[in-house]
């Protein structure tokens, strides 16, 4: 539905519902409302409590990603969900890359007879001023030369700041 047509529909239905004291404005497609001081709060580690061992990020396009770090067993659980599929993956010994702080590597979980897939995950932030509000999480789950999951997940820049803080706290 076109934004103007949707706005007219909303405006015509407000008097019917008896609401004359409020106004609803339709946002442009892809517009995200956030708190003004969120970026400052995230960058200042003393201002807000730690994120913890579990983080859920809703991507801008089609994915919901959940990260869960188990420090006792030294494992990382990763859940990637789209409208149709859901992948629950578990990895051993997750660690940051020695050269780059935004890259995480993890080994496949050992089973009785075989080992699970490996993980390489990278946070890429936008350098362009036009695309300043987005970032990408590159997730590559593979076993040998076969890809199990290999995609770039587009996220909001605020979620990228939260994810970076999650990496610093847990890895």
What is residue 157's predicted lDDT score, i.e. its pLDDT?
85
The overall average pLDDT reported for the chain is 81
The beta-strand segments (E) located in the chain are: 54-58, 64-70, 75-81, 86-96, 103-108, 118-125, 134-143, 146-156
Distance between CA 138 and CA 119 in Å, rounded?
A: 10
Q: Using the predicted structure, report yes or no on whether residue 21 has a pLDDT greater than 90.
A: no
What is residue 69's predicted lDDT score, i.e. its pLDDT?
93
Higher pLDDT: 14 or 62? It is 62
Residues of the chain with pLDDT > 70: what percent? 73
**For 17, phi and psi rounded to 5 degrees?**
-80, -5
The average pLDDT across 3-20 equals 68
Confidence of residue 28 (pLDDT cuts 50, 70, 90): low
Confidence of residue 66 (pLDDT cuts 50, 70, 90): very high
């Amino acid at each position: 539905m076109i934004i103007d047509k949707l706005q007219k529909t909303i405006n015509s239905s407000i008097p019917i519902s008896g609401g004359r004291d409020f106004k609803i404005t339709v946002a442009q497609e892809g517009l995200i409302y956030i708190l003004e001081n969120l970026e400052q709060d995230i960058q200042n580690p003393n201002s807000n409590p730690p994120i913890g061992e579990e983080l859920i990020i809703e991507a801008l396009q089609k994915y919901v990603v959940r990260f869960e770090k188990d420090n006792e067993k030294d494992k990382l659980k990763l859940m990637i969900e789209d409208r149709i599929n859901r992948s629950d993956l578990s990895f051993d010994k997750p660690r940051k890359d020695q050269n780059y702080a935004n890259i995480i590597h993890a080994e496949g979980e050992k089973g009785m007879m075989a080992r699970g897939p490996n993980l390489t995950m990278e946070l890429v932030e936008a350098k362009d001023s036009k695309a300043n509000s987005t970032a990408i999480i590159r997730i590559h789950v593979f076993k040998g030369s076969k890809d199990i999951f290999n995609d770039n997940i587009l996220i909001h820049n605020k979620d990228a700041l939260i994810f970076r803080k999650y990496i610093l706290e847990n890895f």
